Amino acid sequence: MRWRKYVKQIAPYVPGKSIEAVKKEFNLDAVLRLASNENPLGPSSKAVDAMQQAMAESHLYPDPTAAELREKLATIYGVLPEQIITGNGADNVISFVISAFVNEGDEVLYCTPTFPAYRSTTLLMGGKPVEVPLTKELTFDLDSLKENITDKTKLIFICNPNNPTGTIVESNALEQFIASVPEHVTVILDEAYIEYVRKENYLTGIDFFKKGYPVITIRTFSKFYSLAGLRVGYAVASEEMLAPMLRLREPFAVNRPAIAAAVATLDDTEFTEDHFEMNEAEKLALSEKMEELGFTVYPSSTNFLFIHIKSDAQELFNALLKKGIIIRPCTGWGYDEYVRISIGTKEQNELLLSTLKQLE
């Protein structure tokens, strides 16, 4: 009932334009989407083979526990399979985490701009989103989050690295913050892009969990692992924290080909390493070229750039769209002159840059 009552409060979630819709609207043969932080290399060929084999068994329901995938992840991260829950993308995981924790009137605290799903699901559950601005370096403001904790705070989301700014919080400061939150508050780390962070001694949500902190870490196969179209996400937390989520989630949320592809991609380290190297090299090259165009580029720990273009973001979005390139304007929250652009292959980035120059 709560869902019916609160559904009018939330705007429909429109995650950008689809390639098909833009082709049709502007009568284009080819469209390049640099708006959804997808992996431009396509899926791992090993994942494609595994999917094809799994498709031959499509008449059978998938394993509702996705045991093979959870066991593989558990081995990689040094946790128990029982400490992992899978879902139909991180979107679905965020939704059942909030549903499991938030009652009417509970507060959910985070910084903005950030990933919009925290707000919508909180509203849907009758909770109250409490939004505080990022720091001036555009990272999550841990001091301000701390100041805004009340008796009603239930969850704190930390998007690390943050979407859309690409920034990370320093891990010592994060540990101090997690250690200091009162017992009635649960910290959730949304680590959709954490695989792009390779800093020495950097602690992730899973490291904090293994150190005994009661945090929930959410991750996805959509970005680094290049399986956005298959929808695989997961959370890592204690069995006790996962118990209410197990009651809420759909039993067959992750389908058979998706489980097979996720397992195969984890095994294909040659593919993931190639992607990491390409992303690092192209991130540097694209950042430099964007700066040469007079834009300001923020340091990114992800596969996208947050860019101050110093003119109207919606106008640039519209102009590029007509040329068949989709980017993400970050309008709202006072960021009307900022865009988020996913890092493509060398050729894709060159096409973006030459199109930008034509528009000058």
Query: What type of residue is 258?
Result: A
Choice from 153, 220, 226, 300 touching ligand PMP (CB under 6 A): 220
**Alpha carbon of residue 306 to chain centroid:** 15
- Residue 115 binds ligand PMP, judged by CB under 6 A: yes
Closer residue to ligand PMP in complex, CB, 190/268:
190
Token pair recorded at residue 71: 């066991």
Q: Smallest distance, Å, CB 37 to ligand PMP?
A: 6
Token pair recorded at residue 6: 């609160």
Token pair recorded at residue 85: 């829950």
- Footprint of ligand PMP on residues 187-216 (CB under 6 A)? 190, 192
Closer residue to ligand PMP in complex, CB, 153/162:
162
Binding segment (CB under 6 A) for ligand PMP, from list 176-184, 220-228, 309-317, 319-327: 220-228
- Residue 255 binds ligand PMP, judged by CB under 6 A: no
Choice from 43, 62, 205, 233 touching ligand PMP (CB under 6 A): 233
Choice from 50, 54, 73, 90 touching ligand PMP (CB under 6 A): 90
The whole-angstrom separation of Cα 360 and Cα 350 is 16
Q: Smallest distance, Å, CB 94 to ligand PMP?
A: 6
What are the CA-CA distances from residue 81 to residues 96, 211, 233, 288 (Å)?
19, 17, 15, 43
Closer residue to ligand PMP in complex, CB, 160/287:
160
In terms of DSSP H, where are the helices of 219-340?
A: 239-248, 256-267, 269-292, 313-322
Closer residue to ligand PMP in complex, CB, 37/272:
37
Phi, psi at 304, each rounded to 5°: -145, 165
Is residue 187 a contact partner of residue 174, using CB atoms and an 8 Å limit?
Answer: no
Tell me, by CB under 6 A, how many residues bind ligand PMP: 13
The whole-angstrom separation of Cα 186 and Cα 169 is 18
Q: What is the DSSP string of 125-177?
A: TT-EEEEEE--TTSS--HHHHHHT--TTEEEEEEESSPTTT-----HHHHHHH
Letters for 22-61 (x = contact with ligand PMP by CB under 6 A, - = none) are: ---------------x------------------------
- Residue 257 binds ligand PMP, judged by CB under 6 A: no
The whole-angstrom separation of Cα 171 and Cα 213 is 14
Q: Smallest distance, Å, CB 4 to ligand PMP?
A: 24
Residues that bind ligand PMP (CB under 6 A): 37, 89-91, 115, 159, 163, 190, 192, 220, 222, 228, 233
